[in-house]
Chain A
């Protein structure tokens, strides 16, 4: 009593990488632009303000690039030694950088000479950052100290000497001007409060810490060191939330996507992994040519910039989304058509009549429903179906065969239609999942059109092509069988060896027993 059942289209699993929302999102970037720097790119930082320029620290220079420029629009090169960690202020006007000689320099983006120089560290300063109130700078150095500088009078306000090894990374809170964290090679990450003169929370990472990151809310802390990325809940006093071990070399950099939903980590194993911050599962990963030292995402994830040890800067831009034509869309009924009578409640005397919902049928299904078999076959032999979704064509052919009318549907075709079917056969006959159905079709066609062969050069050519294809396939199968035979022989020899080895072992045991007795 049920209605017409549409033909079941055989679906096949898509092999290879699974397509998820994340893969679609993260693959939607253009091919990377490669920029050669003078040395290993130790830090990339995007200006938080438009036009979202980025500062690249490599060797003793800091280059500022525009979003789409391949040449630096500005260069700071007044460093005697290697520069480290060029970082923009929140308003994008100032830039701070540390250097190998222990100095910290503050630059105006528009100027060239340093505005301020903070002297006080005795060894290389690897990390600097602005605090949330914009008037202070935090720096960590290889002399195990962390200093808080006042920008106006370029004096050190506070010095923390709690770390017992190099301080190589740090991050200031975006919300609280008094809080910042630093990570050190003494395996600890410490959170400092400028109001208390000492660290408030200290967590043990277990490996030398290469990078730290605070979530925008300040509640979660991410630390990277060794092969591990660890997430800490700061509101619970630094409890370990999750430990991730997805890289097989040291993780060097961390970054948070602009939505805060995804965490990116770059590593010396030349991979960038993307985690979901809800489940902390890897959802995607990128491969790069060399070990990754630094990583940054532009506003709205528009650009991914990765700096590598070989001095190559890889810049990937998001593909601009094709704008859909508003005009081409069909005009829909007005909104009031849909809401009409929506809030009408059923009255007591009303008799509700439900109209049976009309099931949508594909065109070929409509033809099959009305037993128009040749037309149904014509429809699925349209090029758009045969090329994009050959499984639909094959399913319809299978259905026609099940109905016992395949020969009728194939018969009575002219040169053009026949060559279309033969084209489809040539394209798909050798595919193992379609082969059983299509071989049958080929047999039927040969049976039907054998008497008229030689009348059309086009069709004859197609037949010859098909013949060649079948011969090639047979050869291929034979080769496969030969290989299989060889492999079986190899397997057989290995198993016999094992058994003989076992026998020897046994005989040894027997011998041993004999000797004992």
Chain B
């Protein structure tokens, strides 16, 4: 096992899908979007990821279809290369090495062998639009150094550059300027918004630009929510513009429809606006898309639009403004308050998702399973508003209960708190709100934990709060003769000298509860809620607290703010050991005694895996990430791995995931990168799951009818040859390549034998029976068409083997007998 030698930190959980505009294929069947170092190909009908094109070594910044071959795709990346792909097979065709960091890619239909890219030279904030000639060559990797300069001082974002009227001109916007470069005249016109000159804090700077596909018209979006339509811009003096205003916040993206009759715009309101005929009156809306619209794109065929949203989602929208598909990645829009949780039922990762929602994300299939609406209130998309935040969540050990805490604090004294308890409903396979507790505590809730003991008959929840109390909540039966009702009620309130309760944690068997009050750890008996003992190390407030598991269940671990990690022995009530370590994350493995601690150092974050009973850590990895690690979690593996080396044994039964400050989800992998890649065999599946089109209905029905008539006629003939497809020998013969087959003379007898009727003549009887079944079903369906069904019934009687014998003439009977005799002799001879 060579690859075991190094344990690598790998990114998982998908990257942003909304980094750049998604691009449709020519037939609108597929949609391409950049995602980290990859280009992902999704089916627009099934939302399935068909291919992941990997080859770039750095962030992919642009993707465009090849205008000369609509089965090919260009992509550019920060690694300085442009790659040409065949997206149907997922094959890299060519690589063009440009050399500079490429920030955006544009293709124009008439410029056959060149593409346009955005590069930055020297200064970090100065970008140039250049055209790159792609040399024709048969080799895989080609140097493309022939770069010609087009426009200088442009915006980095590709949204601010648009090619108009089949590539006659290019419009680029930056700050308060709109520059238009005409390729034929080779001149640049520059327009400035009049109001921006005198006002210092004018909000009407450009955010995006789009060009009309047929006419000389440029649409520009502005930060104040206005859309300007520029005309006659080939003349510096006579240019005009008209204003469209609906958005109250920044216009994030604009797109013209293929024919140019309508303009689409979107922004923070998360409403897609369609402006018909470029007039203010004719507007259509598609509201409540969930999050800020970042990009809008239009399919070349004109039947679909798609919007990319800030919550890592792509919505495919039909021409009549109906959403038809949603491609959802891991939502990383906002702060993660809940930490990483594991749903015990689906073993999905659970964390904050859309505003007010919990997202359930399957790590195995890298796909969002569903969103659970916790707050259940209309989300108002406004940057100034203080929203209700979902701050805490916890599952019980079987996944039957979910507890969530939400809060909203407008002023120091006005805190709105709500705790909700959700029961898992087996029928609907989802969580249903059971109990809502308004203001469970008087101050912020700092910790929330369920008693995880398997045997406990009554679920118990503990909340710790800054108001100095911890509360124990139990499920109580409130049912009477009228209805069945279960609800959660407060069972016990504990405090310790008015200190703030900061953490709470149950022991593995549920017999002890540890609650930390600032610097002091208190141990409570969970039967009687008596204070058993206290530990105090005077080493700062307790940041993390956890019990050891399995053989180490007599230890309690606490990490403090003054960089101490302490381990107490619960039997002797003494400090077992302590060490100086700035622990940011401490997680216990549910399947073993191991505890993972991530410590913050000046360089980055370090991982320590240890058993509480042993003085030496099992595994240390320095600088797993340069950033601060905020959360971590052990995910039990479905199939245990078998790492033999001592250092990796802690990964055998569980996998460790962690989330950094910039919200990238990382994990450890011992496999080489090639092995980790998913095979592209999914493609076939996706093709099959494509929806049935009207053509399928017509052709498919026709084919079925043909089959039926065929069966009918064969039924009339009575002696039916077995269908050749059903015999394995024949199919094997037909599907084996000719050069590996034995000689034809050898195969002949075998082949003939396989065509003969078997002894029981089973197939001959069974097949007509099946037909009968179908016919009967059909006759049930069509009661009105009486004459038709009668006809079918006629054929029914003919089909039945036994009945026929009575109806057959004697001569035919004789023939039949003869035939049977012949059959038997054949079989006997064999």
Contact = CB atoms under 8 A, between A and B. Distances in A.
Question: Is B truly associated with A?
Answer: yes
Contact of A8 (B376, B410, B414, B482): B376
Contact of A276 (B323, B380, B438, B481): B481
B19 to A, nearest CB: 22
Interface string A1-20: 11111111010000000101
Main secondary structure, interface of B, reads: loop
Contact of A4 (B378, B385, B481): B378
Nearest to A398: B416
A271 to B, nearest CB: 20
Contacts of A5: 376-378
Nearest to B413: A436
A10 B438 contact: yes
A467 B150 CA distance: 72
A3 B323 CA distance: 13
A514 interface: no
Interface in B401-435: 408, 410, 414
Interface in B440-458: none
Contacts of A276: 481
B781 interface: yes
Contacts of A436: 414
Give chain B's interface residue range (CB within 8 Å of chain A). 20 to 34
Contact of B380 (A18, A279, A403): A403
Interface string A114-126: 0000000000000
A348 B785 CA distance: 13
A440 B438 contact: no
Nearest to A281: B481
A283 B438 contact: no
A402 B376 contact: no
B388 A440 contact: no
A278 B481 contact: yes
B271 to A, nearest CB: 12
B766 to A, nearest CB: 26
Contact of A440 (B288, B378, B386, B414): B414
Given A281-B481, A402-B408, A1 B323 contact: yes
A283 B414 CA distance: 42
A115 to B, nearest CB: 46
Given A347-B781, A348-B781, A440-B414, A7 B482 contact: no
Given A20-B480, A276-B481, A7 B377 contact: yes
Main secondary structure, interface of A, reads: loop
Nearest to B379: A5
A433 to B, nearest CB: 8
A21 B414 contact: no
A404 B385 contact: yes
Contacts of B289: 1
Contacts of B410: 401
A261 to B, nearest CB: 11
B326 interface: yes
B314 to A, nearest CB: 13
A281 B480 CA distance: 9
Interface string B281-298: 000000011100000000
Contacts of A8: 376-377
A7 B376 CA distance: 9
Contacts of A278: 481
A10 B380 CA distance: 19
Given A1-B290, A436-B414, A404 B384 contact: yes
A402 B356 CA distance: 14
B481 A279 contact: yes
B520 to A, nearest CB: 21
Interface in B366-384: 373, 376-378, 380, 382, 384
Interface string B167-188: 0000000000000000000000
B481 A2 contact: no
B322 to A, nearest CB: 11
A278 B288 CA distance: 51
Contacts of A21: 482
A463 B263 CA distance: 53
A2 B379 CA distance: 11
B288 A3 contact: yes
Nearest to B780: A345
A399 B387 CA distance: 11
Interface in A272-287: 276, 278-279, 281, 283
A18 B482 CA distance: 11
B724 to A, nearest CB: 30
Most buried by B among A278, A281, A402, A403: A402
A347 B384 CA distance: 55
A249 to B, nearest CB: 26
A76 B711 CA distance: 96
A7 B375 CA distance: 11
A404 B382 contact: yes
A20 B478 CA distance: 14
Interface in B245-261: none
Contacts of B385: 402-404
A305 to B, nearest CB: 27
Interface in A1-46: 1-8, 10, 18, 20-21
A359 B378 CA distance: 15
Contacts of A403: 380, 382, 385
Given A403-B385, A404-B385, A440-B414, A7 B378 contact: yes
Contacts of B290: 1
Interface string B316-344: 00000001001000000000000000000
Contacts of B377: 5, 7-8, 399, 402
A268 B385 CA distance: 65
A399 B416 CA distance: 12
Given A402-B388, A402-B408, A404-B382, A20 B482 contact: yes
Contacts of B288: 1-4
Nearest to A279: B481
Contacts of A440: 414
Contacts of B384: 404
A1 B482 contact: no
Contacts of B482: 20-21
Interface string B154-176: 00000000000000000000000
B810 to A, nearest CB: 42
A106 B290 CA distance: 85
B779 to A, nearest CB: 13
Interface in A243-290: 276, 278-279, 281, 283
Contacts of A3: 288
A402 B387 CA distance: 7
B489 to A, nearest CB: 11
A402 B410 CA distance: 9
A399 B380 CA distance: 11
B513 to A, nearest CB: 24
A38 B388 CA distance: 71
A441 to B, nearest CB: 12
Contacts of A404: 380, 382, 384-385
A373 to B, nearest CB: 11
Contacts of B438: 10
Nearest to A369: B378
Contacts of A402: 377, 380, 385-386, 388, 408
29 contacts: A1-B288, A1-B290, A1-B326, A2-B288, A2-B373, A4-B288, A5-B376, A5-B378, A7-B377, A7-B378, A10-B438, A20-B480, A20-B482, A21-B482, A276-B481, A278-B481, A279-B481, A281-B481, A283-B481, A347-B782, A369-B378, A399-B377, A401-B410, A402-B377, A402-B386, A402-B408, A404-B380, A404-B385, A440-B414
Given A7-B377, A402-B408, 7 more contacts: A1-B315, A1-B323, A7-B378, A279-B481, A347-B781, A348-B781, A404-B382
Interface of A: 1-8, 10, 18, 20-21, 276, 278-279, 281, 283, 347-348, 368-369, 399, 401-404, 436, 440
A-B residue pairs, 9 tightest by C-beta: A5-B378, A279-B481, A404-B385, A403-B380, A276-B481, A20-B482, A281-B481, A5-B377, A1-B323
